[in-house]
A and B are shown apart, each in its own frame.
Chain A
Amino acid sequence: MSETKNKVKVHVEKVNKSYGENHVLRDISLDIAENEVVVMIGPSGSGKSTFLRMLNQLETPDNGTIVVDGFDISEKTTDINKVRENIGMVFQNFNLFNNYTVLENIMLAPVELGKLDKVAAEKKARELLETVDLVDKADVSVNSLSGGQKQRIAIARALAMEPDVMLFDEPTSALDPEMVGDVLEVMKNLAESGMTMIIVTHEMGFAKQVADRVVFFESGKIQESGTPDQVFNAPKNERLQEFLSKVMHA
């Protein structure tokens, strides 16, 4: 709804991806504006996670163009590490570094990449712990945390690099139900602060509440996209209707 006014942050054009015979993404094109929150929904295997992982080149497209923040990452000469510094990523399985404490997890990238010195990085890390409400866990080993705590630390770790774009790959799918709320709360606050966010999720309530735009993936294609109101209350695509009737009654 706001993409016409704001500048384009992510530009995807005619992207294809196959694993052998399996054509997971077919001619996907999508623009995402600065400050926009886009939620991607769809059945598993529909290609939405692959699409997300392509935006920071954890997967490489077979062809097509992907421009993030003005950098064409489908171009071989682009320094992908520099682009990635600006794109935060949160994984379904957290992927916190097991060999470090909570604080060290958050400090690692800014210090290693020379963005902040140790003192500044620690200060920043403690501030971030405050925003995810886990100050008291600063010095514990990450293996002692619950799933919900781990995911909030993972968000803090991504934010430590002060990215312009945040990618979320099913951030609550591996969590116990009672943990989901805390993580969604952190994400909601982040959205309100104006972060550009691209989220793959099954949390339809969250999508309705936070998304500027909802994109429905099915069989490697974007079948429909629109405001939460359009997608959830007046779905046009037949597969979307079918999908919604399944997840809403589940």
Chain B
Amino acid sequence: MFKKCLLGLATLVTLFTFVSTVQAAEPHYTITTDATYAPFTFQDKDSNYVGIEQDTMKAIAKREGFTYTMRPMSYNSAAQLVSNGQADGIIAGMSITPERKEVYDFSTPYYKTGVAWIVGKNSKIKSLNDLKGQTVALKTGTAASEYGKSLQEKYGFKVKYFNDTDTMYNDVVVGNSAATFEDMPVIQYAIKNGMALKVMNANKPGNAGSYGFAVEKNKNKILLASFNRGFAAIKKDGTYDKIVAKYLGASQSTFSGTKKDNSSILGIMASNKAALLKGLWQTLQLTVIAIILASVWGILLGVMGVSEYRWIRAISTTTVYIFRGLPLMVLAFFIYIGLPGVTGVKIPAFTAGIITLILNEGAYTGAFVRGGFEAVHQGQMEAARSLGLPYGSAMRRVIIPQGLRIMIPSFINQFIITLKDTSILSAIGLLELTQTGTLIVARNSQGFRVWAIIAVIYLIVITLLTWLSNWVEKKLK
């Protein structure tokens, strides 16, 4: 039965991998972006990705006859996925710099930019010299942050890193950081839409340059050529200017919903119902699949951990040691971003997330499963063996059923941890509940309300999960 179970689960995983990598007939690309980057890319109130970049991409794809999957995630992950071949291109306000040209091939520039330095609306800071000893917020991996970093020594400030624009802004707004560096058009758009910040160098942007669409160096030449051709065309016929005017001319509320929608918890819930449900569904899928597969893997590790043979025990102990020792996020990055760079095999984010959870939660499960088996009195094994039962039968019939019963509370605990750990997978761009929250906040800047909603949803799901587990526990006893 055990073997059959494993086989079924293996098929399931393969299926997921297969379904998500299936290829369409016309050229299909995976493009990454950072959806906290209005007016270039952000999520509107109907959970669609909009903005200058998104509309531009759409227009070009239509003209050039290709399709694409847009994958929003943190800027840093978005950039890495393209540089290691996991994704085909990135459109995420990426400034064209000489360093980046070593790694990427850039399209013709689609937007002029420069770096602004920004302080809180009522800040007393007058010049960069006033930043001495203060903290400056930067976003990981951006050209603006490189520029900020280059001034650090000269002006003697401390640096703090963020993964998305919105959290970085808010850190300055609430006064945790004294200043930040960001691309001029992006911060001007945010201020126009009510972000309580001010730009200190509007007339003199640092490192003036341009945004470009990028692909991995010397790869995807067809896609890059398509983009350039398409961009030239929409620039020529005025489509591009219309797109820019559409976003810069309108206030963000046009896209992100009315004030009423965003200023109450109920309003936010109603206007983001679709997105929240979608995020919750993804979280539940990850949780359920991970719980089942990690339990199977963990039980297997636990059984191996009490094997008759020393080498099997050693495999189990080592596996548990490694995967229990690795932070979940490191493991996720390693599998999703690290491995494909070496093996050349693309792993869909969902599959990578599931594998990460199986390895990590499975290691914890393996450790307590082994402990549970060891807690079954040694006499039980001796009695079974003295009747002539082989080791396997004795385990299956006597030790495992008793051990599993001891482990039930640990399993319930692990299920809850698994549910919470799925939130870490937002780092590889999985649009689960936490990432959904990040995107909503990026749009409406209602951090307190949105995170309160997300927190309550987690608590509700955890409560239901606990009830279900307790019910199962009672049934088993």
Which residues of chain A have a CB within 8 Å of any CB of chain B?
A: 56, 58, 81-82, 84-89, 91, 93, 95-99, 108-109, 112-113, 154, 157-158, 161
Contact = CB atoms under 8 A, between A and B. Distances in A.
Nearest to A53: B382
Interface of B: 377, 379-380, 382-390, 393, 397-398, 401-402, 405
A16 B385 CA distance: 23
A109 B382 contact: no
A95 B380 contact: yes
A87 B386 contact: yes
A93 B380 CA distance: 10
Given A98-B402, A112-B397, A58 B382 contact: yes
B231 to A, nearest CB: 70
B398 A97 contact: yes
Contacts of B393: 112-113
B382 A158 contact: no
11 contacts: A58-B382, A58-B386, A81-B390, A84-B388, A89-B387, A91-B383, A95-B377, A99-B398, A99-B405, A112-B397, A158-B387
A87 B387 CA distance: 8
A108 B397 contact: yes
A58 B388 CA distance: 11
A58 B386 CA distance: 8
Contact of A98 (B380, B382, B386, B390): B380
Contacts of B398: 97, 99, 108
A157 B384 CA distance: 10
A152 to B, nearest CB: 15
A157 B382 CA distance: 14
* Residue among A56, A85, A97 having the largest count of chain B Cβ atoms under 10 Å: A97
A97 B383 contact: yes
- Shortest 6 CB-CB contacts between residues of A and residues of B: A85-B388, A95-B383, A95-B379, A89-B386, A109-B387, A84-B388
Contacts of A154: 383
B386 A56 contact: yes
Given A95-B380, A97-B380, A99-B402, A81 B388 contact: yes
A89 B393 CA distance: 18
Contacts of B387: 84-85, 89, 108-109, 113, 157-158, 161
A88 B377 CA distance: 20
Contacts of A93: 379
B382 A91 contact: yes
Contact of B379 (A88, A91, A157, A161): A91
B387 to A, nearest CB: 4
Contact of A109 (B380, B388, B401, B402): B388
Contacts of B405: 99
A4 B382 CA distance: 33
Contact of B388 (A91, A95, A161): A161
Given A81-B389, A88-B386, A108-B387, 17 more contacts: A56-B386, A81-B390, A84-B387, A86-B388, A87-B386, A89-B387, A91-B379, A91-B382, A93-B379, A96-B383, A97-B402, A98-B402, A108-B397, A112-B397, A113-B388, A154-B383, A157-B387
Nearest to B394: A112
Contacts of A84: 385-388
Contact of A97 (B384, B385, B386, B390): B384
Contacts of A157: 387
A58 B402 contact: no
Contacts of A158: 386-387
A174 to B, nearest CB: 11
A112 B389 contact: yes
